[in-house]
Amino acid sequence: MLECKFCFYFQTMKESVYLMDTVIYHVDVNSAFLSWESCYRLCQDPQALDLRTIPAIVGGNQETRHGIVLAKSTPAKKFGIQTGEPIVDAKRKCPNLTVVLPSYSCYVDYSRQLIDLLKTYAPSVEQYSIDEAFCDMTGTRKLYGDPVIFAETLKNMIRDRLGFTVNIGISSNKLLAKMASDFRKPDLVHTLFPEEVPTKMWPLFIDELFFVGQSTAKKLHELGISTIGDLAHMDLDVLTHLFKKHGEMIWNYANGKDMEIVTDHHHTANKSYGNSLTLHADVTDAETARLFLLSLSETVGARIRADKSYVGVVGVSIVDQNFVRQSKQQTLFSDTNVTEEIYQTACTLFSEIWTGVPIRQLGVFTGKASRDASYQFNLFDQDKYEKLSKLNTAVDSIRSKFGEDAIKRASFVNNDTADHMTGGLNRSRRNHKSDI
């Protein structure tokens, strides 16, 4: 009898541990902007042509130099059309391509509907972007049963209730869940648990690993590393010598290791803030480029302060007229939320990486955001920082009450070259009540 009780207790403990195994969903909308555009048009007119069934893209306005592919349909993908490429190139590949301008306020509303639905079923939801979210489903097996089977149910529920499809990746951490959701599309559920990494992830090309950009991929290829498995088996000391902290991070990713947990961003700071701008005409002089960097820094700084956050890293990105991208970032002496400090760092980095080739796009980005940061003063900047911090806060307050144009820097007065706050969402979208 004692042995039976012990066996029952042991089995119960095993089931409890099993029930509490970490389960993460990554929910990714398939061709989000194009899917949402189709849903909106069909809601307005049920007889309208479904853009998802023909070669179609959502793209920016070519006349204002924002003419790139933002989203593409599956039929368009068959012509080799890539997200981010110029619309003119996409039309060469598919002369009968249908091009529609984006309806951002509509996309924001669909995004919110998705998040609201996910929050109905997931204990914790972290919105990663307008069309992606992580759901921590740990401990929900008693509610919904097998997490893979329920993911199918949830996927179908999104399709039937909201009218668009998603991919759902499932794993025990965020990295692998995101990698899984990028497997074959659309409207599918994929798993990538740690034990599946050797067979499902290691054979993939190194370029497909999260956070391995073109520059890093090129260097890895030069080292003879062509697959994620090659990277996973590389000597970590060699990687950290060549790529510093980034090398350690991508090595961990290649081995399926990710310690980040799903959090509700209503209670924690964003990890990064950034804005970029495709210019109306190629910029060929540093003075004009710095004006745009100031404008971008204004919107980035305002967003950081609105979240009551501070950032520890500032970076700059440049895309030249040949679509070659360069970027560089710098860790700050102390965390900040002051626009002037972000801008000064951005200008320094810009001077270090710009080769003089005409610029098509500029970006300012930040990282290592926190709400718990404290400023470390040096002997010379204490008064300056305090004054700038108070001034920035006062400017934010005025703009919030009277509008963005109520106050602007002198360099933007009567200046037709650059708007004083630009990048990311345009003015109308930033002021839209449902913007995320």
Domain finish residue from 90, 105, 120? 105
Q: How far apart are CA 346 and CA 329, in angstroms?
A: 8
- Specify if 294 maps to a domain: yes
C-alpha dist (Å) from residue 38 to 56, 80, 125, 383: 10, 21, 26, 54
From the candidates 37, 132, 298, 404, give the one annotated as an active-site residue. Answer: 132
Q: What is the mean pLDDT of each run of 10 residues along the chain (436 residues)?
A: 41 40 95 94 93 92 68 94 88 94 87 94 88 93 95 97 97 95 96 97 94 84 95 94 88 88 57 76 88 90 85 88 81 86 93 90 85 56 67 74 69 66 52 38
Q: Give the residue from 78, 105, 132 where a domain finishes.
A: 105
Question: Per the domain annotation, does 237 fall within a domain?
Answer: yes
In the block, tokens 């969402």 appear at 425
Report yes or no on 70 lying in a domain.
yes
Determine the residue type at 88. Answer: V
Q: How many domains are there within the chain?
A: 3
- Supply the pLDDT for residue 210: 84
pTM confidence score: 0.66
Contact 72, 89 (CB under 8 A): no
In a domain, 208, yes or no: yes
Rounded to 10°, the helix 104-121/147-162 angle is 140
Domain assignment of residue 68, given as a range: 32-105
What are 29's strand-pairing partners?
166
State the pLDDT at residue 23.
96
Angle 316-320-322 (CA atoms, 0-180°, nearest 5)?
150
User: Which residues have C-beta within 8 Å of that of residue 258, sequence separation ≥ 6?
Assistant: 173, 174, 175, 176, 252
Helices of type H across 145-274: 147-162, 174-181, 197-200, 214-222, 228-232, 236-254
Task: Tell whether 315 and 364 lie within a shared domain.
Answer: yes
- The 3-state DSSP class for residue 173 equals coil
Note whether 130 and 108 are within 8 A (CB).
Answer: yes
Whether residue 123 is preceded by a cis peptide bond, meaning omega within 30 degrees of 0, is: no
d(CA 262, CA 139): 14
User: What CA–CA distance (Å, rounded) separates 295 from 303?
Assistant: 13
Question: Domain holding 43: CATH number?
Answer: 3.40.1170.60
Per-residue confidence (pLDDT) for residue 180, from 0 to 100: 97
Please state, in angstroms and rounded to a whole number, the distance separating the CA atoms of residues 99 and 279: 21
Q: Are 350 and 309 in contact (CB under 8 A)?
A: no
pLDDT value at position 30? Answer: 95
Neighbours of 116 (CB within 10 A): 11
Is there a single domain that holds both residue 293 and residue 205? no
Cα(58)–Cα(67) distance, rounded to whole angstroms?
Answer: 10
Which residues have C-beta within 8 Å of that of residue 393, sequence separation ≥ 6?
305
Catalytic residue list contains 132: yes
pLDDT at 8: 39
Angle at the Cα of 268 from the Cα atoms of 434 and 21, rounded to 5 degrees: 105
Is the separation of the CB atoms in 340 and 332 below 8 Å? no
Within a domain: 185: no
Whether residues 217 and 330 share a domain: the answer is: no
DSSP structure string for 336-352: E--HHHHHHHHHHHHHH
Give CA 51 to chain center in angstroms: 25
The CA distance from 373 to 308, in Å, is 10
Say yes or no: 389 and 278 in one domain: yes
Q: What is the DSSP string of 252-275?
A: HHHTT--------TTSS--S--EE
Contact 33, 102 (CB under 8 A): yes
Residue 355's CATH number: 3.30.1490.100
CATH assignment of the domain containing 219: 1.10.150.20
149 within some domain: no
Structure-block tokens of residue 385: 């920082």
Residue 356: exposure state from Cβ atoms within 10 A (0-12, 13-18, ≥19): exposed
Residues 245 and 307 grouped into a single domain: no
| Residues 416, 420, 423, 424, CA torsion sign | negative
Tell me which amino acid residue 132 is: E
Domain closes at, from 254, 287, 322: 254
Shared-domain flag, residues 227 and 371: no
